[in-house]
């Protein structure tokens, strides 16, 4: 379970010639019963793993769609403990990655947080406001419990920093494709291909591109240069509008991608 489950899932998906697709949803958006329905749907669609956001009052990496989802989750009474209790009561085959900020983790207690995540069936953590210079204590607690700490790589970072981040990342390396916050986009950074190529050449774990991924065409473009994608804002928008078949099509767009020299 935990890190091993996540890594085994990536190995299986990539070995059969697919690219990884990790959708993001906000825990408690519409209530935990609705969250459970969305988790089940995404798992049935063939998501490689599911990133589950924890609502937070100051989500510095999140764009307006995810911020609004967080506010809806707050209004529904969502808390970290309620999310972990729900996951423990509703185990899933698909790996679950929690996305949260450091303050709620610190307030929860680092050791207790790691243990409760492991007991709830969480497999990995993304903490976007935690720089590698300050991660030692929480990284140690997560490692004790067999949980992956997935690091984010910024497209504006120098190569030596990207190399250090890549050397530390568990599960997968999250390649941020834009400057700014999450949200659907029509364009990515000018150097996106070179950036993803570089990360893929130095990373010991799969590289997944995220922030702004919103169409099958973007999925196909980005996965020429990396092992998969993460999509959040578009998934939330489609769930809000009841357009679940478009979500299915987005997930399936990562399957059986041609090799880069065939595209």
| pLDDT (tens digit per residue) in 99-126 | 999 999 999 999 999 999 999 999 999 9
Q: Quickly state the pLDDT bin for 187 (edges 50, 70, 90).
A: low
Phi, psi angle pair for 157, to nearest 5°: -75, 145
Find the length of the chain.
263
Asked if residue 132 lies in contact with residue 165, where contact means CB atoms within 8 angstroms, the answer is yes
The CA-CA-CA angle for residues 138, 175, 190, to 5°, reads 150
- 62 as an active site residue: the answer is yes
Among 84, 48, 89, 53, smallest CA distance to 68 is for 53
Concatenate the DSSP letters of all residues of 102-161 into one string.
HHHHHHH-HHHHHHHHHHTT--EEE-TT--GGG-HHHHHHHHHTT-EEEPEEETTS-HHH
- The better pLDDT of the pair 35, 186 is held by 35
- Listed in sequence order, the residues at least 6 apart from 213 whose beta carbon sits closer than 8 Å to its beta carbon are 177, 219, 222, 229, 230, 231, 234
Q: Which of 7, 18, 29, 51 is catalytic?
A: 51
The number of folded domains in the chain is 1
The CA-CA-CA angle for residues 125, 134, 141, to 5°, reads 50
Domain hosting residue 138, numbered range: 3-256
Distance between CA atoms of residues 139 and 87, nearest Å: 22
**Is 262 contained in some domain?**
no
Average pLDDT (41-57) is 96
Residue bearing tokens 């959040």: 232
Q: What is the dihedral of CA 56, 62, 65, 69, to 10 degrees?
A: -20
Q: Three-state DSSP class for 86?
A: helix
Which two three-digit tokens encode residue 187? 């364009």
Distance between CA atoms of residues 123 and 63, nearest Å: 25
We report the CATH number of the domain holding residue 48 as 3.20.20.70
**Residue 46 falls in which region: left (phi positive, over 0), alpha (psi -120 to 50) or beta:** left
**Is 261 contained in some domain?**
no
Distance between CA atoms of residues 222 and 114, nearest Å: 33
pTM of the model: 0.92
Average pLDDT (82-93) is 98
Residue 45 has pLDDT above 60, yes or no: yes
**Is 232 contained in some domain?**
yes
Q: Which of 62, 141, 170, 237 is catalytic?
A: 62
Average pLDDT, the chain: 91
**Is 89 contained in some domain?**
yes
Q: How many CB atoms lie within 10 A of CB 19?
A: 23
**Is 126 contained in some domain?**
yes
Distance between CA atoms of residues 216 and 186, nearest Å: 12
Q: Three-state DSSP class for 43?
A: helix
Average pLDDT (145-156) is 96
Computed from CA positions of residues 233, 35, 9, 130, in that sequence, does the dihedral angle turn out positive or negative?
A: positive
Beta strands 20-26; 228-231: pairing state = parallel
Phi, psi angle pair for 187, to nearest 5°: -135, 150
Residue 258 has pLDDT above 50, yes or no: no
**Is 263 contained in some domain?**
no
**Is 172 contained in some domain?**
yes
């Amino acid at each position: 379970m935990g890190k091993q489950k996540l890594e085994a899932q990536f190995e299986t998906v990539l070995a059969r010639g697919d690219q990884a697709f990790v959708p993001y949803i906000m825990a408690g958006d519409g209530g935990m019963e609705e969250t459970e329905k969305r988790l089940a749907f995404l798992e049935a669609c063939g998501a490689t793993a599911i990133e589950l956001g924890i609502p937070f009052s100051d989500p510095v990496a999140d764009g307006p769609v995810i911020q609004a989802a967080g506010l809806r989750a707050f209004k529904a009474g969502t808390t970290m403990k309620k999310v972990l209790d729900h996951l423990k009561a509703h185990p899933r085959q698909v790996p679950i990655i929690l996305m949260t900020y450091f303050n709620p983790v610190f307030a929860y207690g680092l050791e207790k947080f790691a243990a409760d995540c492991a007991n709830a069936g969480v497999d990995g953590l993304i903490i976007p406001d935690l720089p590698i210079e300050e991660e030692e204590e929480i990284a140690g607690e997560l490692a004790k419990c067999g949980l992956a700490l997935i690091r984010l790589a910024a497209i504006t970072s120098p190569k030596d920093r990207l190399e250090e981040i890549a050397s530390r990342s568990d599960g997968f390396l999250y390649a941020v494709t834009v400057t700014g916050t999450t949200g659907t986009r029509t364009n990515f950074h000018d150097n996106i291909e070179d950036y993803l190529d570089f990360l893929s050449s130095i990373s010991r774990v799969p590289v997944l591109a995220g922030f702004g991924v919103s169409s099958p065409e973007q999925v196909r473009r980005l996965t020429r240069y990396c092992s998969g994608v993460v999509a959040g804002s578009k998934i939330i928008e489609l769930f809000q509008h009841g357009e679940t078949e478009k979500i299915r099509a987005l997930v399936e767009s990562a399957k059986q991608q041609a090799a880069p020299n065939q595209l």
